[in-house]
Chains A and B, each alone.
Chain A
Amino acid sequence: MDNFKDKVFNLLNENKVVVLFIVLCIGAIYVSGDPLTFVVRELFARIGRNGFMVLSLLIPILAGMGLNFGITIGAIAAQVALFWVVYWGFTGIEGFLLTVAMATPIAMLFGWLVGKLFNTMKGAEMIAGMILGYFADGLYQLFFLFIIGGVIPVVNETLIIRGGVGVKNTIDLTGNLKYALDTVSMLSLAKIGFWVLIAILGLRLVLRLTRKLEGPLTSDLLLLIGAVAIYGLIQVPAIEGFLATDRLLLLDGVIIAAVALAAWQVWRIVSNKIIRRDEDFSIWGPLAIIAACVVGYLLTYVDYVREILVFVEIPVATYLCIVLLCVFNNMLLRTKLGQDMRTVGHSRVVANVAGIDVDRTRIIAMMLSTVLACWGQLIYLQNMGTFATYAAHTQVSLFAIAALLVGGASIQKATNTQAILGVILFHTLFIVAPQAGTQLFKNPQLGEYFRVFVAYGVIAVSLAMHAWETRPKQVVPIKVEEKPEVGVAGGTSEGE
């Protein structure tokens, strides 16, 4: 029993930030009196909008470069590309893909430059990233206010300030890129997925024929049969009709997720217990998850829950991107590059001895993060539908990093789960804070200031905690007998 108590205490202690914010969120929702239907709908819109950006922070943390305040620069790359695509008049998903194609090389270049700079100031990446963000903002303003129209001739009355020099404050994306990604239907996604799978299988077949890949064909064949079966299934009119929409009702989403999760757990039990006969495998974990799925499914029949679930629709394509990024973050850990990054993150000296090119690994981490942040900003902007030319990128790093930290991440360790949890908690607070301020103090402004304070405060506390725990330990023992207050342990070691 004591053991259990300790466990619970440890769990609470390790996740105190998360617990604090859960309490804060519940309190704020209760005080605000906002209907849950409204909160949940707003929340799911915001997860889709901001999730990708928060997830883009994980790789630099893995590589030991701390919180990447330089994601502002990825956002800038996205916005530069976005402007030109809007100016050239491309629309819809084609326009969006063109923006991605154009923004990615820019972001890679920027990321490479940032990585180079960070390599000259190792250990000070975070402060450098902050200042770099502001510096890049200055250059961005110079480009958008004076070079576009001033040096590069651009003629467009809706985009350019009257007088012909400089871009207007806001660019309306309605009719060109608004919801470009959100409105990709599930049917198209399924078809794209099918053709991608076929292409991969074809590639594997070619590799097999040229004897570069060995092993039995069965798994490939099974995959192919499965894919074709699903492709056949989506030709059925009823299913086709269901998939032709781009938004998924949260109710359907929950049911699909519950069924899929339960099926996966069943598969785990079957494969581990019956096929491989693994003795160490405990079936209680999967069984608990299955039970949770069943409970979750039954909950959808509760009127109150159902009312919320029917009220919320999620943009499938955007959520798929977020899931894919989570998968990518996990897969990266299994590659050599990911392991190199982890080693570099633990200790640059050890990595160096192990023959890892530390500088190169760090640059790659920065490039990946910058490109992902760039895509994240594009997802954000296509969902917002208005592009505030001079403001859209300025708060990106503040809110993304605050969200990540609220989820329980630290400066050395962050996971997908923490990122998503953080987005949920942080944005719940954002949604209800003004109303809570109104209810509590008759002043909505107070709630708004409070949420901004939370964003800054949580970053300040995390940075301080991190520095507190990891300050240089190499204390030179100097015995000064006459002055006992001098030889305090854990003192400074700043001397070069």
Chain B
Amino acid sequence: MRALREKLSEIYENLGLPRIIIIGFFIVLLIAAVPLGLSVPNLLGDAIRRWAMYGILVLAMVPAVECGINLNFGISLGIVAGLLGSTTAIEMGIPNPWTSLFAAMAIGVLVAIPLGIGYGILLNRVKGSEMTVSTYVGFSVVAFMNLVWLSLPFKSGTLIWPLGGRGMRNTISLASSFGGVLNNFLGVQIGDPTQGLYVPTGLILFFMAACVVVWLFLRSKTGLAMSAAGSNPMFARASGINVDMMRILGTTISTALGAIGIITYSQSYGFLQLYNAPLMMGFHCVAAVLIGGATVRSAKISHAIIGTFLFQGILAVALPVANKLLPGTNLADVMRIIISNGIILYALSKTKEGS
């Protein structure tokens, strides 16, 4: 009995109150869905789709935290790089969805790498306040890209406003390029199409592959050096690791993953969202990895996987449940704001920064 209690209190210590509330909330939502007449397989399918869809964006947090720049609120940098890659790929008018997808990713990563290096150099200059700076750097980049989206001389009909309008549309359909190409690859429909569970196998495989790559990298010599630089810079420097270089590396990888992440997200969603859409996306990614058990100073790949599933799972289930309970309201949206910012605030209050 005593051992059990100790075990429970240990779990409580490890999880922290907010996470227990979130897990409890998820379970309650799932249970509530049954009497409300919602199809649980359907909800679960939705949760899985959203999990894999957001997964890589959240995964991008891991190298950032590990290399010591803390939570990367500036992931919007990678996101806009990915969007730039996608729009360029569409402009090129590649008919094959796979080629189009990989072209988008290649261009996105190519844009993300110099951006990430510059961003890493900046963050090396502002050690100790990375999160404060990166939040507003992220916002500024999104605001700056608003100007770019309006001015890019793209011609493709799917990109620009019809009838001679100037600039690109707010949402761009991916139906004619790479929309759903990963989702539908080896996709399996379990049960009937409206009530059943659809497994987007290709999307999950891609997410898992990304996780494995990052995992391998973190186990490599460079990866271990990077983690050391992040967790104990003084010790790392004493052992001959170039800490600043490692931080730039981690930031760049995070930014590149952000670019790949948003492309994966968009192909699943079916649309590219430009302008202010990526403004708060960084916050959701940060919240997800924190829910998974990460802290400001350490994050594992498992945190990203679990956290994304819990966070997106809650949203996937909460939306229809809230709509059944209080039709026509955005209760789920409000819950998302409270949960995501609440968990970030909790994580920040747990780290003693400054004095």
Contact = CB atoms under 8 A, between A and B. Distances in A.
A121 B234 contact: no
A443 B242 contact: no
Interface string B317-345: 00000000010111100100110011011
Q: Is the interface of B mostly helix, strand, loop or mixed?
A: helix
B240 A460 contact: no
Given A121-B349, A145-B330, A492-B243, A449 B147 contact: yes
Q: How large is the interface on B (under 10, 10 to 19, 20 to 34, 35 or more residues)?
A: 35 or more
A131 B147 contact: no
Contacts of B352: 121, 496
A291 to B, nearest CB: 43
A481 to B, nearest CB: 11
A265 B72 CA distance: 54
A190 B334 CA distance: 47
A141 B337 contact: yes
A122 interface: yes
A456 B344 contact: no
Interface string B286-322: 0000000000000000000000000000000000000
A493 interface: yes
Interface stretch (B22-30, B85-93, B125-133, B187-195): B125-133
Contact of A131 (B125, B232, B240, B348): B348
A366 B349 CA distance: 17
B277 interface: no
Interface string B112-124: 0000000000100
Interface stretch (B6-14, B45-53, B138-146, B176-184): B138-146
Contacts of A191: none
Contacts of A145: 329-331, 334
Nearest to A124: B353
A346 to B, nearest CB: 14
A208 B306 CA distance: 72
Nearest to A496: B352
A492 B233 contact: yes
Contact of B140 (A120, A132, A460): A460
A183 B160 CA distance: 48
A67 B338 CA distance: 23
A452 B127 CA distance: 27
A111 B129 CA distance: 24
B349 A486 contact: no
Nearest to B336: A138
Contact of B232 (A166, A446, A495): A495
B219 interface: no
B234 A493 contact: yes
7 contacts: A122-B353, A128-B349, A134-B341, A135-B337, A145-B331, A488-B244, A494-B68
Interface of A: 117, 120-124, 126-128, 130-132, 134-135, 137-139, 141-142, 145-146, 163, 165-166, 348, 441-443, 445-446, 449-450, 452-453, 455-457, 459-460, 463-464, 466-468, 471-472, 476, 478, 480, 482-483, 485-488, 491-496
Nearest 10 CB-CB pairings of A with B: A123-B354, A467-B126, A138-B337, A138-B338, A135-B341, A460-B136, A453-B143, A467-B129, A449-B146, A456-B140
